Amino acid sequence: MNNIFKNAVQISKIICRAKLSPGDIAVDCTMGNGNDTEFLCSLVGEKGKVYAFDIQEEAVITTRKRLQELNLLARTEIVLDGHQNIDKYIKGNVELVIFNLGYLPKGNHAITTKKETTIEAVQKSMGLLKPNGIILIVVYSGHENGKLEKEALINFTTTINQKEYNVAEICFPNQINSPPELICIEKV
């Protein structure tokens, strides 16, 4: 196997592969250009379902085109809405939820995830998980908003009842330039 602890995205992918099986329901809470949506689609198979959320129409258009070209659209529900409204679209039975926070690197940097809506979405996602289901949050603290978001998330996760959820935070203390970290919330 290649390195496991290279970065947060690499570890999140290993966990996705370990957790997801054909037929599962997964959620990409920050669709962007659809990298994670496509990856989740490949893991849940044609009997599975991937919900993907973004507030930018541009993200929806790009991802829809991408999935159409790969013949993956039938297993996807693309939602142009904030992830804080996840409970309006999904009622439960979710195996895995992924957040890749911040802004699109080549997009409008003013359109970024925000701590209040992120926490609301994480709390609602926790209520939608199956037993053993997991939430993966890739957090960027290299910009001011990201620092606040990370702080709020860490504060929130310390309040989670350990009898109901396992929580892990994976960081990279020997890397330069504030590398993204991974927060995991797993239902017991």
Q: Which of 35, 42, 123, 178 binds ligand SAM (CB under 6 A)?
A: 35
CB-based contact 152:119 (threshold 8 Å): yes
Q: How far is the CB of 59 from ligand SAM (least distance, A)?
A: 5
CB-based contact 33:62 (threshold 8 Å): yes
30 near ligand SAM, rule: CB under 6 A: yes
Query: Which residues have C-beta within 8 Å of that of residue 163, sequence separation ≥ 6?
Result: 188
113 near ligand SAM, rule: CB under 6 A: yes
Nearer of residues 55 and 153 to ligand SAM, judged by Cβ: 55
* Span from 16-24, 50-58, 65-73, 157-165 in contact with ligand SAM (CB under 6 A): 50-58
Element (H, E) at 26: strand 25-28
186 near ligand SAM, rule: CB under 6 A: no
Q: Please report, for residues 42, 46, 58, 68, 128, the alpha-carbon distance to residue 71 in angstroms, rounded to integers and kept in the order given.
A: 11, 10, 20, 5, 27
32 near ligand SAM, rule: CB under 6 A: yes
Q: Side by side, which strands form the sheet with 49-54? A: 76-80, 49-54, 25-28, 94-100, 129-139, 181-187, 165-170
Q: Which of 12, 16, 44, 102 binds ligand SAM (CB under 6 A)?
A: 102
76 near ligand SAM, rule: CB under 6 A: no
- Which tokens in the block code for residue 141? 């603290």
Q: How far is the CB of 161 from ligand SAM (least distance, A)?
A: 26
Contact positions toward ligand SAM, by CB under 6 A?
29-30, 32-36, 53-56, 59, 82-84, 100, 102-104, 111-113, 117
